[in-house]
Amino acid sequence: MAVKMRLQSHGSKKRPFYFIVVADGRAPRDGKFIQKIGTYNPLTVPATIQLDRQKALEWLNKGAQPTDTVRRILSFKGVLYLKHLLRGVKLGLFDDATAMTKFQAWHNEHEANVARRNDEHRKAQRAKKAYTPVVKKVEEKPAEEAAPAQDSTEA
């Protein structure tokens, strides 16, 4: 039985919302699944992803194959990096505490980058919404320049 980690479509037309599920590869896209491990909402900026890292890691270790989109989500959330580090522990390259320290450092840096991107996006949105008047004032000529022009018309 080929087990896949994939997105299960929910939501209404033009309002997508997905469950991240583990399902038999032969089952239909929105059909029967083995376990729900998270949600993905692409409509929010940035996209909202809720994922149970432990369940996802468990299923990856059991041999579940993620689809391309789910692979990107797992990579973004650090599940694939954690799997990579735990494989290093299994091979004896370093101990479990070192692996968790490396993952925690990566996670903190990643969260800081995401927060920075959110702030930049919000600032750009506020700048877009800033009021700019449609009608611009015409510059008035100084009085000195206007006076000689009147004299020449009189002569």
For residues 138-143, give the mean pLDDT: 73
Domain that residue 112 falls in: 3-127
Residue 138 lies in a domain: no
**Is the pLDDT at 108 greater than 70, yes or no?**
yes
Reported pTM: 0.77
Cβ(70)–Cβ(7) under 8 Å? yes
Cβ(55)–Cβ(35) under 8 Å? yes
- For 10-47, give the DSSP string: EEETTEEEEEEEEEETTS-TTS--SEEEEEEETTSSSP
Q: At 27, which CATH number?
A: 3.30.1320.10
Residue 24 lies in a domain: yes
Cα–Cα nearest to 17, from 51, 59, 47, 55: 47
Averaged confidence pLDDT in the chain? 88
Cβ(47)–Cβ(73) under 8 Å? no
Residue 83 lies in a domain: yes
Instruction: Count structural domains, the chain.
Output: 1
